[in-house]
Structure 1
């Protein structure tokens, strides 16, 4: 199933996520749902849902969240978030709502809000799969929705009570000790995690091949992890705070002549939002797909993010 509506027989279908496709999807809609604390079953986290509908038109969902909120972020939970909206509010439509993420940031953070359209490759029941992110402008969003779209978290937003803040610490970690991943975005090339015997075999006979199946297999994690360990050592020596190591790592990658993929992959390892985070109860807070790619390649050591609570 494609993420596009049937395009008809005359012209070729517009490229998914492109300007032509957005113009095809645009329609005069009305705001049908505005829920400041939308939740998906089994997921910790909320977002503001603005759902725009019109007879005969595909629904448009705008999910708004503030960076650093407690719980699952928009990017990591996109399949289950979009599936919950689809099943709850427009179950009669054959395709999921047109999905737009609006990432806000706290005042004083110095970061600009980010708008991104998510195009799904298909769906299994009410669970979209294969997300791909593309930038969308505020003007394009307004035309797409066909009605005013609010640019805030909503009056009904209630932040979770303040908890003891953990200290964020990046550290070196043996990849073979990571929990067995259970990937959910790339079922074709990541069907069922990496078994224990296979991960140890890869430690003895590592692989460095690049595959075109997905982003996670699109580069050499041996090279990226070696760069990450170097960045970690340099950042500690220079007293770089955890929040600033991502920028420090990107600068290091540029100076080292890293490829675009290597720079992006290195940045994810030092991103507070996207770093690999092992969890005792669930295996991972984040990073299952990168962990699987590293295990398959036989990477020995990499960098992960720990939350350390003072006692």
Structure 2
């Protein structure tokens, strides 16, 4: 092992530099041992070209190249899992993950030139690095690092993903008690610890009506009244075959006709906005809307409107 690998049982975190001195310290003549044009991690749907350079007594260097937006999970979003998968599969005897360099190429007519980026992690636990930090590395610096030629293209073995049909948008009635427990974020004063199961069921039996708070907009109005109107407007929209993209405008018009307050109109618009509606990701999370869900659960609202994306396959 070289001096940049730990001698003790626990790996040390990498330095957050990517400086020329650090790159010179890691540089060594290596050979291209793996050139997998469609590498993927078992837990993720993303693919990329993996070039892995190795030499005895040196840390492996992994170069990942991907076409942004065309290969599923992006390199940036999946960097911990992708790096861990390469580490576990191709260099499991190493105490640290491979030196990770990634390049996402933009696809706009022709592949545009984009920069390589070095990723350094705070630490790692059993082939799972964490705490990524990105810095730019030039192609020349990268080739000096590995001591070999590094391909800059996606590779002839790239297989484009099949075109997936656009998902269908559907607004639907949903039981508030079935929404996942919101996680505290951004507003600790009014979302200190989510809503435990016992409290949400108590509020379903003994709802709180007209109990507005001043902590934030989400807790500032009557969600019982808003959702009663929302469910009525949903039925009207179905009878009139209103498209999902037109639901927000439809709800605002009917809210005005019903004499809704400004807050109620804004709340109704948020429930029927395709970009801002409550979207349960699963029984364990949200794509959007957990602060509104928090307010509804605390008030004991029983039914609301959520947005689903349904694949037409």
TM-score range relative to shorter protein: 0.5 to 0.7
Q: Distance in 2 between matches of 1:194 and 1:112?
A: 46
Are 1:93 and 2:94 counterparts?
yes
Partner of 1:65: 66
| Correspondence list, 1:1-311, <5 A | 5=5, 16-108=17-109, 112-165=113-166, 180=182, 195-196=194-195, 279-280=281-282, 283=285
Kept after mapping to 2: 8 A contact 1:142/1:149: yes
What does the per-residue CA deviation read over 1:90-129, in whole Å, with 9 as the maximum and x for residues that have no partner?
A: 0111100000111111143785413111100101111001
Q: Distance in 2 between matches of 1:154 and 1:182?
A: 44
Q: Distance in 1 between matches of 2:159 and 2:6?
A: 40
User: What TM-score does the superposition give when structure 1 sets the normalisation length?
Assistant: 0.54
Residues 309/145 of structure 1: CA separation in 2 closer, same or farther (3 Å cut)? same
Q: Distance in 1 between matches of 2:23 and 2:180?
A: 41
Q: Distance in 1 between matches of 2:99 and 2:45?
A: 23
C-alpha displacement at 1:279, in angstroms? 3.1
Computing the radius of gyration over CA atoms, which structure comes out larger, 1 or 2? Answer: 2
Any gaps of 5 or more consecutive residues in structure 2?
8-13, 170-178, 186-191, 201-211, 217-278, 295-306
Cα RMSD, aligned residues only: 4.2
Residues 22/154 of structure 1: CA separation in 2 closer, same or farther (3 Å cut)? same
Partner of 2:266: none
C-alpha displacement at 1:195, in angstroms? 3.2
Kept after mapping to 2: 8 A contact 1:120/1:130: yes
Any gaps of 5 or more consecutive residues in structure 1?
8-12, 169-176, 184-192, 208-276, 296-304
Q: Distance in 1 between matches of 2:184 and 2:103?
A: 27
Residues 112/153 of structure 1: CA separation in 2 closer, same or farther (3 Å cut)? closer
**Any idea what SS the aligned residue of 1:80 has?**
helix
Kept after mapping to 1: 8 A contact 2:40/2:48: yes
Q: Distance in 2 between matches of 1:66 and 1:59?
A: 23
Residues 130/107 of structure 1: CA separation in 2 closer, same or farther (3 Å cut)? same
Count of matched residue pairs: 201
Q: Distance in 1 between matches of 2:115 and 2:167?
A: 26
C-alpha displacement at 1:140, in angstroms? 1.0
Q: Distance in 1 between matches of 2:283 and 2:180?
A: 13
**Any idea what SS the aligned residue of 2:34 has?**
strand
Kept after mapping to 2: 8 A contact 1:15/1:21: no
**Any idea what SS the aligned residue of 1:81 has?**
helix
Partner of 2:175: none
Q: Distance in 1 between matches of 2:118 and 2:40?
A: 20
Q: Distance in 2 between matches of 1:75 and 1:37?
A: 17
Q: Distance in 2 between matches of 1:284 and 1:77?
A: 19
Kept after mapping to 2: 8 A contact 1:14/1:20: no
Q: Distance in 2 between matches of 1:24 and 1:44?
A: 35
